[in-house]
Structure 1
Amino acid sequence: MSAASCLRSEDQFLCSICLDVFTDPVSTPCGHNFCNNCINQHWDSSDRCQCPMCKRGFVPRPELHINTLFSGMVAEFRHGAQHKASSSSSDQQAAKPGQVPCDVCTGTKLKALKSCLVCVASYCETHLEPHLTASALKRHQLIQPVDNLEGRMCRKHNKPLELFCKTDQSCVCMLCPVLDHRTHEFVPLKEEGEGKKAELGKTQAEIQKMIQKRRVKIEELKESVRISKAAADRETAEGLQVFTALMESVERGLEQLIQEIEEQQESTEKQAEGFIKDLEQEISELMKRSTEVEQLSRSEDHLHLLQSFSSLKAAPPTKDWTEVRVRPPSHEGTVVRAVAQLEDTLRKQMKKKLFEAELKRVQQFEVDVTLDPHTAHPNLILSDDGKQVSHNDVKKNLPDNPERFSYCGMVLGKQSFSSSRFYFEVQVKGKTDWDLGVVRESINRKGKITLSPKNGFWTIWLRNGNDYKALAGPSVCLSLRSGPEKVGVFVDYEEGLVSFYDIDAAALIYSFTGCSFTEKLYPFFCPCPNDGGKNSAPLIICPVNQTV
């Protein structure tokens, strides 16, 4: 049989009312075939008895009988279709969870390829074939397989939802505009869907931005954790180093204490041994004399007795041992003195180790600072790399811009800081006078200036080679064992802290605490006048060398 005749025969075996293969086919007087049940129900529900195909009326209603010849042909076609379906079903996949199953399949439900909005059913490849071949079914609207087809039908008119009511913002069928939404604005679902797609595109872009921001935040948090972990590891290592040094000091102190006690005991033992040796020598001599005296006393030779009596009567010369004593060394206070000495040593070592650890910690926040020539007083000389500044007795002719110090020989760093922590180091070796610190952006730069936190200056200075002060308003005199050759400046903006360190001594010079920063902060430098060459050395911004 040719493909064309196959398609034609399949079309002939479908009832035009139920659109399925005939069941108990009957023929009307006009020659059209219908399922017995379909045509009778059609006539029962209609006021007129006419053919659904050609509209020919019948009066009276004809009595219909099963067309046995055609019924046999239908049975033969149904058998062939079932055989074809069973042979092809093995090549199709059973519907998996989440996939739409075929509504016609019995037993194992195959995966649906299409859903029909007219039939309100989903079909696998085999059961979809009539919709692809039968002319009556080709007019049906097929879509990709979906669940809940009932939700795609108008509940009121039982028609597919094909329009969008912009007034009510709802999907409606073709009858709704005529019957229920007469004055409303309608557009095809596709048109409204495309508009919504554009909106979803914008929403998707916004969501992607939000996702990206959160991914960036995740990386920031991970980086914070990494930095925190590194800091914790560093603190642990530094703590281990400090406590190891302390334990070594304790062990050395204990060894010294034990050695001192043992030496005292050894001295006592040697003294006692000397006394015992002398006593044993005297005992030996006395025992010898005792033997001689005993022998003489038993002698019958009176002449010999009288001649020897005078020499044996007197006891041999011996030492007076009455007041001789071996006094055990007094250890009272030895442990106390040793502990006190150890405490003092530990206190000094611990303080030094802690300051070394603290200095290492703040040095992690090193920033690159260069001098800003636009702020430099005309008497100052800046190096080409912006790392050194010295005072010159000859005043340069420079524009008096608002940023420049006009009266005092001062200069600021180019870099400003308004958050977090930062640290820089300055070499002050060879100088007898200098000022260092940080200042807020709005400080007075014209005329005489008083350095104090109230005026926006957090600084320390050196005068006359040994007079160190923290300009805290009022000033605080600083007692330093030796003058620093390099000074570290550390600022914690959020904590309101400004600290100064002696780098070589690994010691804290001074800290401004409880500061309130609300503006940008700038590094501050003042090399002070030359003083006839005594103070000609420059202030030098140095890279941090963490060798403490």
Structure 2
Amino acid sequence: MAAANYHRSEDQFLCSICLDVFNDPVTTSCGHNFCKNCLTEHWNTSDQYNCPLCKKVFNTRPELHVNTFISEMVGQFRDKAQQEASSSRSELQESKPGEVLCDGCTGTKLKALKSCLDCLVSYCETHLEPHLTAPRLKRHQLIDPVENLEDRMCTKHDKPLELFCKTDQTCVCMLCSVLDHQTHKFVPLKEEYEEKKAKLEETEAEIQQMIQKRQLKIQEIKHSVDLSKDDADREMAEGVRVFTALKESVERGQVELIDTIRKKQKTTEKQAEAFIKELEQEICELMKRSTDVRQLSRSEDHLHLIQRVQSVNSAPPTKDWTEVNVCKPLHEETVRKAVAQVEETLSEEMKKLVVPAELKRVQQYAVDVTLDPDTAKPYLILSDDGKHVHHGDVKNLPNNPYSSFPYVLGKQSFSSGRFYFEVQVKGKTSWDLGVARKLSKRKGRITVLLQTDFWTIRLKNGNEYETREARLSLKCRPQKVGVFVDYEEGLVSFYDVGAAALIYSFTDCSFRRKLFPYFSPGLNEGDKNSAPLIICPVRVTVKSGI
């Protein structure tokens, strides 16, 4: 009896019994209006004839006549309300560009609310009504509206695509399963849909993890840049202190040092920016992929999901960021080179000011090194904890000075970054220390090192120090030697830990392969050289005046 929407004037046309708009309005002698059927039903169930509103009692049952004036007013009100409701409904349902249209509408096409996979037709609210009420049509499968429903028909047999062929990985109709894919394995489309949807959800979870890892990596890189900047600030301050002590003669070197440090820091920041940019690009790609996967995984359209799943399963970014780090420049070598350019008369003062601080800083890269018995040459004796090595007394070894040195490598290998370790050489007349490249194995033993495979310093005859390239002149015999490597810089430096002095540096090295700590205790020489090489825990060196 009532229209869908009303204005405030609707209250004037409401029956006080049914609370709806008047239908065949009648008026009592007391002036109140009611629906004819409502008032008749009221009197039929009441013991007396009275006005339901003011309770006035009538001696006899009044004869009811439709109030034509009110009836006309109600009719006008109904027409207006229906027009407004129809207009509002049309505005809500009228289709917009890109939306699926109702196939049942004639004239102006309204927006489809659902598509039927059984009828292969899209319906607006009005034309959808039978599918919501008719028992036979209620069994049809309704989905959110989609276009090109004809694509859901088998092009060969003109039947609905209802099965998925596992063998050919394609959607087929019932006739296809009988005629063209007889020996193939089939599952209902819905079953395949559920399986692929589950996989998409797993993919979405994996993508989210990849995003989180990359976001964490960005934070790690930014933190590395901050630490690098702190290091750079400290190194600049140290450089200023050194060059201030050397007065005017080193002012030019001071400027060059700061400029070099800043350039290295700039390079570090650019490297970090490049990493961050690449990570952010991967995150954008992953977020877009995540959105596509999420939208597709929520689709109720079996065929659409199956046909699109391959495209969203394309390979995501596969770069492994686990080992990617911003390499903080080591400025000590820069300081040392700069100061080394001053007059020869200031060289001793330079060593007092620079090298101890340099050693202190490289010691922060200390690593725990143990000896690898699988790489030990014959007649070498290793301690159970892998920290001591000495040579048994054996004679008639080859004359080649390097091949005659029995050696053993550390278990730990390094292919990036920086590392430092210390070895006690006290009481020995010969030894060889440094790092060596990774070598091929032969029957469980590493083959003989070539001269180009290692970077070491060597003691022989009790007081002669040398590298494979040059003899070294040392004022005092080191009791403990520190070995520092910067893989990316191609730097290997050796320090006299007790004197806090630099012994020698290999620069511009090209490692290319893994590096291993290298130890040779030298020959026993009738117990003259029986003391072991001992890998020591690193304690930061502190010198007075530093």
Task: Give the alignment's TM-score, normalised by structure 1.
Answer: 0.47
Larger RCO of the pair (alpha carbons < 8 Å, separation 6+): 2
Rg (Cα) greater in structure: 1
